[in-house]
Structure 1
Amino acid sequence: MVSDDTNRPNRRAVLKGAGIAGVALTAGCISTPEDGENGSGGDGSGNDSGGGEGNDSESGGGNGGSGSGPYTIGMVDSSTGSLSAFGQRNQRGKDLALARVNEVGIGGSDLEIIVEDSESQSQAGVSAAQKLVNQDGVPFVIGAVGSGVSLAIYQSVVEGTDVVQLSQNSTSPDLTDYPGLLRMSPTGETQSAALADIIAEDGHDSVAVTWINNDYGQGITDAFTNAWEGEVAFNNSHDQGQSSYSSTVSQLANSGADAWLFITYQPEFTTMAQEAYSSGYEAQFYGADSVQGPDVLSNTPEGSLDGMKLVTPSAAVDQDNYKEFASTFEEEYGESPTAWSAYAYDCVITAALAVATAAEFTGAALQETVREVTRPDGEQVTTFQQAMEALGEDGSASDIDYQGVSGPIDFDENGDPVGYLQIFTVENHEYTSTGFVES
């Protein structure tokens, strides 16, 4: 909440009707992104003005809720590169959430999000975040896809400042060691433990593991080997973006293990699966979250992955707010959302609620509210509109407990959320849900 009564947002006065169809939105902020686009305008910025001075709490975007300009935050996403499939889903979730926020408004002002491309690489992600923080002056950054990218942004740009960083898609257990780096997707610690249990339950006592050579791959693999009680016959990394992984595939086959675990990204796994199939190698495949996707199925031979089991972060698909989100997503995009879309959606709603309840539009003030708006002590709300109604004119961050479409959130002292995991099995070259695990 702003401290000056003359500038305090009158939330009830700005509530508008639900439904995104007839909403007038700021140009460049809401669109339906096509493949390879970030859904935020031709320059990827999400607005045309840029300029860090627009976010000063005394002028421009950060106007204390007086309605004379938008609140502008940033987002680093994977519009291109190995993780672009996740980035596209993120943008769709982000766009739906931004529409919901701007139907209601924050004290008469819109929320705008400047989107920059990490290219799925750490250095490009750091450059994107530097642009957002140093040039655009945003006090809040949603980002990024990939644990290594998120951690590089935090260490190079955010750490030691008041800027809030909330990652939409980072699961490495290593991020738990950086409590200033919040994330919406659950830690991979539980994902690794679930994989170890499933492989053992399937009767395997030896496993061969290959992992992408970055913080994500290292963190998930270390957590897996700590949880696994059998033999690790092969445990080696591979680089990102190679045209062939025949050597890695041969080493997996020569390890003697009949269970192969892939902790990598979709393009890399697709190449490995193609080369294993063409070489006639047979093994039981298992995978972490980032090897699953429709592009994997469409680019591998029919039946080549049947029987593969994957453990992925999951949204709370049994909740009514998720069902409403999924229905809207399907109407808008013609396909079901993934958990990654839900995480991006919840990042935007959480950011908007942090802005709405902060004393001023600064990083220091947002640090005080971003965790509180999801804490269990407040009144449970499942939409941005419900939250604003519950806050009224004088509410504070601790008065509400936003229950996300991805689940309860409830950031702990390490910045990790409560999370759900879903088990998928490839059957007839399609992903079939075969169970859930709560973290």
Structure 2
Amino acid sequence: MTNGTKGLSRRDVLKGTGAAGIIATAGCVDLGGSGDSGPYQIGMVDSQTGSLSAFGERNQRGRELALSAVNDVGIGGRELSISVQDSQSQQQTGVSAAQQLVNQQEVPFLIGAVGSGVSLAIYQSVVQSTDVVQLSQNSTSPQLTDYPGLLRMSPTGRTQSTALADIITEDGGESVAITWINNDYGSGIKDAFVDAYDGEVVYNSSHDQGQSSYSNVVSQMANTDADSWLFITYQPEFTTMTQEAYSSGVNEQATWYGADSVQGSDVLANTPDGSLDGMKVVVPSAALDQENYQSFASEFESEYDRSPTAWAAYAYDCVVTAALTIQAADDFTGSALGDVVRDVTRPEGETVTSFEAASEILSDGGSATDVDYQGVSGPIDFDENGDPVAYLQVLTVQDHEYESTDFVTGE
């Protein structure tokens, strides 16, 4: 590149990559990556709007930092661009977004999506019959394990469900009422929890996304007299449930627990003080003690004036993994990328903790198996099902704030 980003500050680059749609480096014209000087273009389906837009916002920040880190080094003298499409947190819209990227823009590598049902719908409807590599940034449903061709950076919810079952049992919970969102994410986490829990499940019912009221769900859970309530849903739906439980005076009837997608600052901001105190939520976590995560967190805080979440770290690692896969592959095709995407994070290679260090190995003649990229989210090590190593954090609401109270590691 002769007129890419020279003369621009890092912040200028990040601002330039933050827009929706095509994310590319200034001055590049060969968006397909078919020439020998233009950027390699990949695709990303994200939740820029809808129920999971809070995750999309976190992903955007992680994506921007990773794209800047990759393009500071380059991929064999070329840069990386990402075409981002909005799923609106819905399956059909997500499929349409993926069709735009795969069928029209012909990207060979697709990052996506947030919701498990969206990721699975994209894989089944768009990707499965092609050579395109799909790597989900945020999907946790155990059902994705049944599709080895669909990789994911965030850990399977099966470990999350087992952790929740263990925590409820350790807390003395003998009966549980479960409400779960009626999609692949909700049913997957719920089924895995029921399999792992030794107590009595006295209520087990789904609810639809985007309803204006869930008072019927709350009243039915209250009528069970269960000592534990488990919420497997999204932030907007859970916020409404909390408000209605508080207004009806039943929020202290049982100890509350939650899967990852009920947790967020918007939940705390939109629920009464004290209404969630004592609730425990199990969420995927980055390996916070790793030096490369701490460096990532420091850069993130400097750039965005806030601490990163695990979700931002997953998005960061998706971009870096894609870039390393492109550099290690024999050709910029889905078939060639698919041959090496697992290898660049495998423990057989030399442990590296940055794109720059991994890129040096590949530039010096190393192959994909010579590299073991340890992400800012932790060791990745995709298994035969496309699942990574799992790190989980237990958050407890205290004085209407989330406090980290434990860590769990699982396969």
TM-score by length of 1: 0.89
Amino acid at match of 2:262: V
What is residue 318 of structure 1 aligned with on the other side? 289
Residue in structure 2 matching 1:238, options 187, 207, 217: 207
Size of the aligned set, in residue pairs, is 402
Residue in structure 2 matching 1:285, options 212, 231, 256: 256
Please state if 1:346 is matched with 2:346.
no
Alpha-carbon distance, 1:389 to partner: 1.5
CA RMSD for the aligned pairs?
A: 2.0
Alpha-carbon distance, 1:22 to partner: 4.3
What is residue 299 of structure 1 aligned with on the other side? 270
Unaligned runs of 5+ in 2: none
Residue in structure 2 matching 1:252, options 213, 221, 225: 221
Amino acid at match of 1:115: V
What is residue 74 of structure 2 aligned with on the other side? 105
Q: Does the 8 A contact of 1:191 with 1:312 survive in 2?
A: yes
What is residue 15 of structure 2 aligned with on the other side? 31
Q: Does the 8 A contact of 2:156 with 2:387 survive in 1?
A: yes
Deviations 1:152-210 (A, max 9, x none): 00000000210000000011110000000000000111100100011111111000000
Residue in structure 2 matching 1:124, options 93, 118, 128: 93
What is residue 171 of structure 2 aligned with on the other side? 202
d(CA) in 2 for partners of 1:24 and 1:237? 45
Residue in structure 2 matching 1:396, options 354, 364, 367: 367
SS of equivalent residue, structure 1 residue 372: coil
d(CA) in 1 for partners of 2:70 and 2:102? 23
Amino acid at match of 2:219: S
Distance 1:210 1:23, change over 3 A: closer
Deviations 1:385-431 (A, max 9, x none): 11112223422111100000111100000000011000000000000
Residue correspondence of structure 1 range 320-335 to structure 2 within 5 A = 320-335=291-306
Residue correspondence of structure 1 range 400-411 to structure 2 within 5 A = 400-411=371-382
What is residue 266 of structure 1 aligned with on the other side? 235
What is residue 7 of structure 1 aligned with on the other side? none
Please state if 1:147 is matched with 2:116.
yes
Distance 1:95 1:242, change over 3 A: same
Deviations 1:302-348 (A, max 9, x none): 01000000101000000000000001111111111110000000000
Residue in structure 2 matching 1:187, options 149, 156, 166: 156
d(CA) in 2 for partners of 1:21 and 1:301? 42
What is residue 22 of structure 2 aligned with on the other side? 45
Q: Does the 8 A contact of 1:23 with 1:99 survive in 2?
A: no
Q: Does the 8 A contact of 1:210 with 1:261 survive in 2?
A: yes
What is residue 102 of structure 2 aligned with on the other side? 133
Unaligned runs of 5+ in 1: 1-15, 33-38, 56-60
Residue in structure 2 matching 1:364, options 335, 345, 349: 335
Alpha-carbon distance, 1:40 to partner: 3.9
d(CA) in 2 for partners of 1:23 and 1:362? 32
TM-score by length of 2: 0.95
SS of equivalent residue, structure 1 residue 72: strand
What is residue 73 of structure 1 aligned with on the other side? 42
Alpha-carbon distance, 1:284 to partner: 1.0
Distance 1:331 1:54, change over 3 A: closer
d(CA) in 1 for partners of 2:225 and 2:12? 61
Alpha-carbon distance, 1:45 to partner: 2.7
Identity of aligned residues (%): 70
Q: Does the 8 A contact of 2:327 with 2:362 survive in 1?
A: no
Alpha-carbon distance, 1:31 to partner: 2.4
Q: Does the 8 A contact of 1:40 with 1:115 survive in 2?
A: no
Deviations 1:323-378 (A, max 9, x none): 00001111111111110000000000000000011111100000011111001111
d(CA) in 2 for partners of 1:162 and 1:258? 49
Q: Does the 8 A contact of 1:23 with 1:103 survive in 2?
A: no
d(CA) in 2 for partners of 1:410 and 1:372? 8
What is residue 4 of structure 1 aligned with on the other side? none
Deviations 1:124-152 (A, max 9, x none): 00000000001111000000001000000
